[in-house]
Each structure stands twice: as structure tokens, then as C-alpha cells.
């Protein structure tokens, strides 16, 4: 391949340095006259970008500006994100990515990612040769049917794989060229999108049943043939498909579902950390879920394993976990329960949430409803009456869908709540105490798991990796953080958190015989050396 020069070089996002090209480089690459006189360091460029972003009035404008930067200078984009992660992660991902997905067709600029539709049946493997990168190691794939708490957004859901992979790079140092966002665009039931002349997706109702599963199977076979070491992360599939695909592929190919397993790991880490505030040992806790979809059930399954790891029998472990869905308490007399709810259907009288809290007396209440304001003042007050330090985890996102806000949880509990949320909230002062609530964000877990598993060329991603990630994450929360109500490390430390999670993940791979790379003398150093940081 001939060397890129001139305007072609400036238009290549992976090689472009813009005003950071030196005088010698400008001469060599035929850039003289194409750039302003001054040579800027990358740090000056970052400062310029942040000034530009901060001048924007709305977060969606900041999102568009950062995406435009990625399109023209990939290294500067990631350098900016890494150095300003606390400020920019809510822009690049939750909660702004929710609005970006809703408006995806209206803010579309340049193509990112790979799209597969039912019209591509029997052609997917050949189509993959159109993707220019040959060393792809991580795919995040969605079918757009359950985007965050927003429902079916069809092809607009491509914003999720794009955002998740940006976090793989920024938080764990997975190289951008290893990353491939994929949209299985099988249509949408969202009539508003189908009626939108700007919508770019497959313009039909969703393909389901045998045809749907045949397309997914073709995708999996094609990508594992093209990229034998590929890690496939399933993202934002509807509950029944999420569980079905996880069970179908978890032991066949190198894959996991972040909504089920990643959410489980970060929530388990938060509950483990919360025990240091409440004084209730994890193995003594009773935990209640409001909402019984894929995320909640995944958390429950991992927590059941964690209870058993601490000495409880399987029966006793599941008995510590209670679910309330839109019908009421999940209990054994109910008919027609979805298969993922059955392990948590205990012998108990039917009842609604408040009655169930009063009777079962949970130490932690976890919301995964996708419905706002479901943790009412009465719910929080009751949890506070039966617990000295009640755990209140309002995990639904984006922010508008949170079961309650941080201000409500702390205010209604008189500052006693041990709070975590799915979306970020500002600090709260109650009764003279300053709280800095932390987000139970999957980003604490999945990038590090991806780095660790990919680095050692693991063959599978077992639940034990998520357990190890949760334990590693919980141990990284210091006492000062806990004193302010924070259950997770600060986002400013997240690259080091991701490294620790990667080490824990790789350790499991070696312990369980899943690694295909010889163990190095210094595993942490090997993983650290692989990290991309966007520096020119």
C-alpha cells in the first residue's frame, strides 16, 4: 500500500494528527500549506476540543461534536475521552446515548459499524470482507429491540454498539482497530420510525421466529470464521431473545451478554461494597428486585452463585432472592412464569411490593423496571424503617427512567439510604452530610473483562469471570469513598479499575484452562503494555 500523503492523510481518521504534525512531518507527508503555521501538542489540541465541547448548549450537541472528532482524528478523540472521562462518559454513553439513539437517523453524519438485514441471508460471510480491518477481536452486536429503557429503536440502536466500543477503547485500552459495532437490523415494531422519511433501517416489521434465529446463526458462524478469536458481546436484545441467545452461544462461541452478565457483576460489586456501610454481611442479606427482566434475572443468578461461594446451599441461596414484577411477587403458585423467573418463584402468598417488603424485610431493594418513580417515598420510608442503612439501587436508565433520584433516596430516608443508580446523579447534602452517589455502570466491568479475555485468547466467558470482576471491583472502593455513600471507585480511576478487572478475568482463564496464550511472568504488566491510549 502506498504511503498516505496530503489531503488524503488528513482525511484518514486513524492516521491524522491535524495541527500536531511537525514541520518535518509536514514536509515528508506533503502537508505544507494545508495546515496553519503553528505545531500544537496533543495536550493543546485536547484543551481546544474541550473548550469547543463545553461551549455547546445541549448534551446531544456535545455528542455530535465528539463523534465528528472521532471521524477526523481517532487518536485525539480517545485521548480527549481518556483525560476527561468523568465529564465525557455521560456524553459518549449513558444517559446521552439514549437521546442519540432516538435521533440517530436525524443526526447521522458518517458511517460507523456493520449492518446486516434479512435481505443479506446467505451473504453475510462474503459481506464481512468489505470491513477493512482484518484483526477484529471484539464485536458488540444488537438488534435494537430493547435499547436502554427506551424500547424498540430498530437500526437507530446502532448508537449502543458504537458507544460501548468507545468505552472498550477509552476505559480498558482495547485498540480501536480491534473493534467492530454490528447491527442485526431485522426491522422494527416502532411505527413512528417506520413512518419517518429519514429512518435508515430495514423498513418492515420485525422478522421473528425461525428466520430471525437463522440470521443470527449465520452472523455468528460468519464472524467466527472470519475472525477466529472474536469476542461477541450481545447487547440490548429483548428479554426472551437475550436469554435464548446467551444459552445458545455461551458454550459454543467466545461470547457474553452485557445486559445479563455485565449488569450482574457491577450490581453484585455494589452490594458487596454496601455491606461495609450497612454492617450486614453479604451472606446474611435478603435482596428484593422490582422488575424481573433479563437484567434483574442475570443479577439474581450471579448473586445466587455468590451466596453459594460463601457457603450457602443452592436452595438457601435462591431463597435470599425475591422478585416483584408487574403482576406482583414472583411466587410458586403463579402460572405461566417465564423460564428465567422460575428459580426465584418461592412458596409464598401472592402480594404487591409494599406488602412484600413488610413481610420479607429485604436489606437491599434493586430496581430494574425501566419505569420511573416506582421507588416512591412510601417504599423508601418502609425500607428505612426495617433497616438501619437500607440499600436502594435504582438501576434503570436513562435518567428519566430511574426508579427514584439520589436526592429522593437520601431525602426520604433521612440520609440513611445506601444508594446507587444506573445513571449519574449530582451530589446531595442531607442533614449536614455530603453524599456523592455513584453510578452502577457496566463500564466498570465489561471493558476490563474484554481486555483480559481477549489478551489471553480465552475460549469462553464463564460466570466465574464475572464473579471475579465483581470481587475485584468491590475491593477497589476505599473507606473515604464509602463515607460519602459511593459504592464504586471514581470514574477518574476507571482505567486502573479496568486493568484490575482484566487481571482477575485472565486469572480465571488460566485457572480454568480457557487461555490459549502461555501465562507471562507478569500478567499485569503484559495487560498494561497492551493498552491503547491515543498518544501520537
Catalytic residue from among 17, 63, 77, 164: 164
- Give yes or no for a contact between 380 and 404, defined as CB atoms under 8 angstroms apart: yes
Give the mean model confidence (pLDDT) for residues 98-126. Answer: 97
**79 in active site:** no
Question: Does residue 129 surpass a pLDDT of 70?
Answer: yes
Q: Which residue has the higher pLDDT, 400 or 275?
A: 275
CA dihedral 163, 156, 67, 1 (to 10 degrees): 90
Catalytic residue from among 63, 77, 79, 93: 93
Question: Does residue 347 surpass a pLDDT of 70?
Answer: yes
Is this structure's pTM higher than 0.85?
yes
Give the mean model confidence (pLDDT) for residues 85-91. Answer: 95
Please give the pLDDT value at position 245: 97
Question: Does residue 439 surpass a pLDDT of 80?
Answer: yes
Please state, in angstroms and as integers, the Cα–Cα distance from residue 138 to each residue in 172, 274, 277, following that order. 12, 32, 37
Question: Considering the chain, what is the average pLDDT of its residues?
Answer: 96
Please give the pLDDT value at position 370: 86
Question: Does residue 257 surpass a pLDDT of 70?
Answer: yes
Please give the pLDDT value at position 2: 65
Please give the pLDDT value at position 148: 87
Question: Does residue 1 surpass a pLDDT of 70?
Answer: no
Question: Does residue 7 surpass a pLDDT of 70?
Answer: yes
Domains and CATH numbers, the chain: 6-70 (1.20.1370.30), 96-253 (3.40.50.10380), 261-443 (3.40.50.720)
What is the tens place of the pLDDT at every residue in 448-480? Answer: 999 999 999 999 999 999 999 999 999 999 999
C-alpha cell at 52: 469547543
Give the mean model confidence (pLDDT) for residues 2-11. Answer: 93
Question: Does residue 107 surpass a pLDDT of 70?
Answer: yes
Q: What are phi and psi of 254, to 5 degrees?
A: -75, 95
What is the tens place of the pLDDT at every residue in 136-168? Answer: 999 999 999 999 889 999 999 999 999 999 999
Give the mean model confidence (pLDDT) for residues 73-100. Answer: 96
What is the tens place of the pLDDT at every residue in 210-233? Answer: 999 999 999 999 999 999 999 999
Please give the pLDDT value at position 228: 96
Please state, in angstroms and as integers, the Cα–Cα distance from residue 379 to each residue in 328, 348, 398, 409, 472, following that order. 15, 21, 21, 10, 32
Helix (H, G, I), strand (E, B) or coil at 529: helix
Question: Does residue 420 surpass a pLDDT of 90?
Answer: yes
**93 in active site:** yes
Amino acid at each position: 500500500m502506498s504511503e498516505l500523503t496530503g489531503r488524503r492523510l488528513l482525511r484518514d481518521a486513524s492516521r491524522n494528527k491535524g495541527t500536531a504534525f511537525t514541520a518535518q512531518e509536514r514536509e515528508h507527508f506533503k502537508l505544507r500549506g494545508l495546515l496553519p503555521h503553528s505545531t500544537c501538542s496533543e495536550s493543546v489540541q485536547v484543551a481546544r476540543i474541550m473548550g469547543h465541547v463545553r461551549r455547546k448548549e445541549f448534551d446531544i450537541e456535545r455528542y455530535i461534536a465528539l463523534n465528528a472528532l472521532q471521524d477526523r482524528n481517532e487518536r485525539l478523540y480517545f485521548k480527549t475521552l481518556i483525560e476527561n472521562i468523568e465529564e465525557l462518559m455521560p456524553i459518549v454513553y449513558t444517559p446521552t446515548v439514549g437521546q442519540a439513539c432516538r435521533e440517530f437517523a436525524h443526526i447521522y453524519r458518517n458511517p460507523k459499524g456493520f449492518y446486516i438485514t434479512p435481505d443479506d441471508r446467505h451473504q453475510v460471510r462474503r459481506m464481512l470482507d468489505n470491513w477493512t480491518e482484518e484483526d477484529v477481536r471484539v464485536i458488540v452486536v444488537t438488534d435494537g429491540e430493547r435499547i436502554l429503557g427506551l424500547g424498540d429503536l430498530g437500526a437507530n440502536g446502532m448508537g449502543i454498539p458504537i458507544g460501548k466500543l468507545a468505552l472498550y477503547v477509552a476505559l480498558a485500552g482495547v485498540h480501536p482497530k480491534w473493534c467492530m459495532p454490528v447491527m442485526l437490523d431485522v426491522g422494527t415494531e416502532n411505527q413512528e420510525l417506520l413512518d419517518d422519511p429519514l429512518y435508515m433501517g430495514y423498513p418492515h416489521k420485525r422478522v421473528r421466529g425461525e428466520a430471525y434465529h437463522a440470521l443470527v446463526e449465520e452472523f455468528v458462524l460468519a464472524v467466527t470464521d472470519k475472525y477466529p478469536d472474536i469476542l461477541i458481546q450481545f447487547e440490548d436484545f429483548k428479554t426472551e431473545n437475550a436469554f435464548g441467545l446467551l444459552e445458545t452461544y455461551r458454550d459454543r462461541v467466545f461470547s457474553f451478554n452485557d445486559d445479563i452478565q455485565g449488569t450482574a457483576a457491577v450490581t453484585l460489586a455494589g452490594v458487596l461494597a454496601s455491606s461495609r456501610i450497612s454492617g450486614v454481611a453479604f451472606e446474611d442479606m435478603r435482596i428484593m428486585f422490582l422488575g424481573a427482566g433479563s437484567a434483574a434475572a442475570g443479577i439474581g443468578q450471579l448473586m445466587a452463585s455468590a451466596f453459594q461461594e460463601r457457603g450457602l446451599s443452592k436452595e438457601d441461596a435462591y431463597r435470599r432472592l425475591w422478585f416483584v414484577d408487574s403482576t406482583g411477587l414472583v411466587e410458586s403458585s403463579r402460572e405461566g412464569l417465564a423460564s428465567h423467573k422460575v428459580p426465584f418463584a418461592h412458596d409464598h402468598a401472592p402480594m404487591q411490593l409494599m406488602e412484600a417488603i413488610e413481610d420479607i424485610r429485604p436489606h437491599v431493594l434493586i430496581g430494574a423496571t425501566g419505569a420511573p418513580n416506582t421507588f416512591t417515598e412510601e417504599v423508601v420510608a418502609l425500607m428505612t424503617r426495617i433497616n438501619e442503612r437500607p440499600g436502594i439501587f435504582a438501576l434503570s436508565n436513562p435518567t428519566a427512567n430511574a426508579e427514584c433520584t439520589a436526592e429522593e433516596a437520601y431525602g426520604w430516608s433521612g440520609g440513611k439510604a445506601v444508594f446507587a443508580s444506573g445513571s449519574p446523579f449530582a451530589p446531595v447534602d442531607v442533614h449536614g452530610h455530603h453524599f456523592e452517589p455513584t453510578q452502577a455502570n457496566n463500564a466498570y466491568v465489561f471493558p476490563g473483562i474484554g481486555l483480559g479475555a481477549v489478551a489471553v485468547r480465552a475460549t469462553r466467558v464463564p460466570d466465574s469471570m464475572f464473579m471475579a470482576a465483581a470481587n475485584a471491583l468491590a475491593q477497589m472502593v476505599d473507606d473515604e469513598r464509602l463515607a460519602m455513600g459511593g459504592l464504586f471507585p471514581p470514574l477518574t480511576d476507571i482505567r486502573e479499575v479496568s486493568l484490575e478487572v482484566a487481571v482477575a478475568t485472565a486469572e480465571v482463564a488460566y485457572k480454568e484452562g480457557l487461555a490459549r496464550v502461555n501465562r507471562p511472568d507478569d500478567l499485569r504488566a503484559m495487560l498494561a503494555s497492551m493498552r491503547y491510549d491515543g498518544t501520537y
